[in-house]
């Protein structure tokens, strides 16, 4: 991979002498969906898939970007004196946003850079290629210029830039999982306090299989904001009867007792998901620690039902894949993962059932939509590093 990036760097910019190569991972969330902006818990792991960059610092303040995933748009130029989002800047608004966020925090970037990127994670599928690109950029800036920031800061800076520069109101999970990833571990994160714990993800005789529906519905951003607004209204209503700061503070019984204070029935359903999903996440981590994968899988399945029926962020294509997975012997659990309305499912599948699983899902998907899903057997990997 290193050689491929350096070769491309040389081809694009003349010489790769002095260029360094870096990596930051994408992530898959095992359980705890749409809880990260509700003060709840999430349980993602970083992947060994992610985004690579070859980078060399320049003597001036020019920025040159090239992505092997977007070859057709060629080299996009910008400058450190013009760190503003432009529509025509396309994907470079992500790394530029991170540079802007560093400067917002008083870390002036002294030199421009030439950059070549390559990602082996599908874009826009809910595996957080955008967060991996943000964390990668922050990691590069720290390494090249010696800024005093922790990996956790890289996550916060990435989220800040995606919120403020790229206009996507995401929670902290994606960037945190990418920046703090640890091989063979999932990250149990309390998004209210950022306290976290690594849980060993040793799945004896099982694999984590991500299935890409290759569907991305156009309503994603507005629907996402609607869900956030529902949860905020529900919280305000609940605060008239109980002293909470976020939905994540309630357990199921407390929610049931207080839920009639939520005026709008749809807001009530959305809040129910946030509360119950958070509790499922707590239980899932306990189950994993006790090596009780059966319970873990059942909680994943219940998470899907709640995301489908209460939170309403699934879609027909994803439900087809999950329904087909549930029917396969040897599937421990299967659910939608990521923001929703398309993207991927995550399943835990016994080794001997992986091939049957792929065949069954391919067949069901082909029959319903005349297209093939894509499968990735994934492993929990480390956070960002230099190659
Ligand atoms: P997700 O984060 O789920 O993959 P997003 O829509 O949030 O989906 O982010 C995808 C966007 O991130 C891409 O459209 C592109 O702008 C940017 N991006 C991710 N990976 C790369 C890459 N390797 N090269 C260039 N841009 C990338
Ligand atoms: Mg993203």
Nearest CA owner, ligand 1 atom 20: 129
Is 125's C-beta closer than 6 angstroms to any atom of ligand 1?
A: yes
Distance CA 17, CA 53 (A): 15
pLDDT single digits (tens) 101-121: 999 999 999 999 999 999 999
Given phi > 0 = left and psi -120 to 50 = alpha, else beta, which region is 360? alpha
Is 129's C-beta closer than 6 angstroms to any atom of ligand 1?
A: yes
Nearest CA owner, ligand 1 atom 12: 130
Q: Are 271 and 236 in contact (CB under 8 A)?
A: no
Q: What is the pLDDT of residue 349?
A: 98
What kind and span of H or E run contains 348? Answer: strand 342-350
Distance 339 CA to ligand 2 centre (A): 9
Is 133's C-beta closer than 6 angstroms to any atom of ligand 1?
A: yes
Report which bound ligand comes closest to the CA of 122: 1
Nearest CA owner, ligand 1 atom 6: 124
Is 104's C-beta closer than 6 angstroms to any atom of ligand 1?
A: no
pLDDT single digits (tens) 6-15: 999 999 999 9
Q: What dihedral angle (degrees, nearest 10) is formed by the CA atoms of 285, 288, 294, 296? A: 30
Task: Describe the strand order of the beta sheet including 342-350 as a list of residue ranges.
Answer: 331-337, 342-350, 206-216, 374-378
pLDDT single digits (tens) 304-335: 999 999 999 999 999 999 999 999 999 999 99
Structure tokens that stand for 219 in this block: 């309503």
Strand partners, 76: 65
Radius of gyration over every alpha carbon of the chain, rounded to an integer in angstroms: 21
pLDDT single digits (tens) 240-295: 999 999 999 999 999 999 999 999 999 999 999 999 999 999 999 999 999 999 99
Pairing mode of beta strands 41-57, 185-190: antiparallel
Helix axes 293-309 and 316-326, enclosed angle (nearest 10): 150
For the chain, percent of residues with pLDDT exceeding 90: 93
Given the CA of residue 119, which atom of ligand 1 is nearest to it?
23
Given the CA of residue 129, which atom of ligand 1 is nearest to it?
4
Confidence band, pLDDT 50/70/90 cuts, at residue 220 = confident
In the residue annotation, 82 being an active-site residue is answered as: no
What is the DSSP track for 232-286? HHHHHHHHTTS--SSGGG--HHHHHHHGGG--SHHHHHHHHHHHHHHHHHHHHHH
Is 123's C-beta closer than 6 angstroms to any atom of ligand 1?
A: yes
């Amino acid at each position: 991979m290193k050689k491929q990036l350096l070769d491309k760097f040389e081809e694009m910019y003349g010489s790769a002498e002095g260029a360094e190569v870096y990596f930051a991972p994408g992530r898959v969330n095992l359980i705890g969906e749409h809880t990260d902006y509700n003060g709840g818990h999430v349980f993602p792991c970083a992947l060994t898939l992610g985004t690579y960059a070859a980078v060399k610092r320049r003597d001036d303040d020019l920025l040159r970007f090239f992505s092997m995933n977007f070859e057709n748009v060629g080299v996009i130029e910008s400058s450190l004196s013009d760190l503003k989002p432009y529509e025509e800047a396309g994907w470079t608004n992500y790394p530029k946003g991170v540079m802007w966020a560093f400067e917002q925090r008083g870390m002036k970037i002294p030199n421009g850079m030439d950059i070549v990127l390559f990602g082996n994670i599908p874009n826009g599928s809910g595996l957080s290629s955008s967060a991996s690109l943000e964390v990668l950029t922050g990691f590069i800036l720290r390494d090249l210029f010696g800024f005093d920031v922790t990996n956790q800061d890289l996550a916060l800076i990435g989220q800040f830039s995606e919120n403020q520069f790229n206009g996507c109101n995401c929670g902290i999970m994606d960037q945190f999982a990418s920046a703090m990833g640890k091989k063979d571990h999932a990250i149990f994160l309390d998004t209210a306090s950022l306290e976290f714990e690594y849980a060993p993800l040793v799945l004896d005789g099982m694999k984590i299989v991500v299935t890409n529906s290759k569907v991305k519905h156009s309503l994603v951003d507005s629907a996402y904001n609607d869900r956030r607004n529902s949860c905020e209204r529900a919280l305000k209503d609940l605060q008239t009867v109980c002293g909470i700061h976020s939905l994540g503070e309630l357990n199921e019984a407390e929610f049931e007792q207080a839920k009639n204070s939520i005026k709008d029935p749809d807001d009530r359903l959305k809040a129910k998901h946030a509360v119950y999903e958070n509790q499922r996440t707590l239980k899932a981590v306990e189950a994993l620690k006790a090596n009780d994968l059966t319970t873990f899988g059942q909680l994943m399945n219940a998470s899907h039902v709640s995301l489908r029926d209460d939170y309403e962020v699934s879609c027909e294509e994803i439900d087809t894949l999950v329904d087909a997975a549930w029917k396969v012997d040897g599937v421990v659990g299967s659910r939608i993962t990521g923001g929703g309305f398309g993207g991927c499912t995550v399943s835990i599948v016994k080794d001997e059932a992986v091939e049957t699983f792929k065949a069954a899902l391919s067949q069901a998907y082909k029959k319903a939509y005349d297209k093939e899903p894509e499968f990735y057997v994934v492993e929990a990997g480390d956070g960002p590093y230099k190659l």
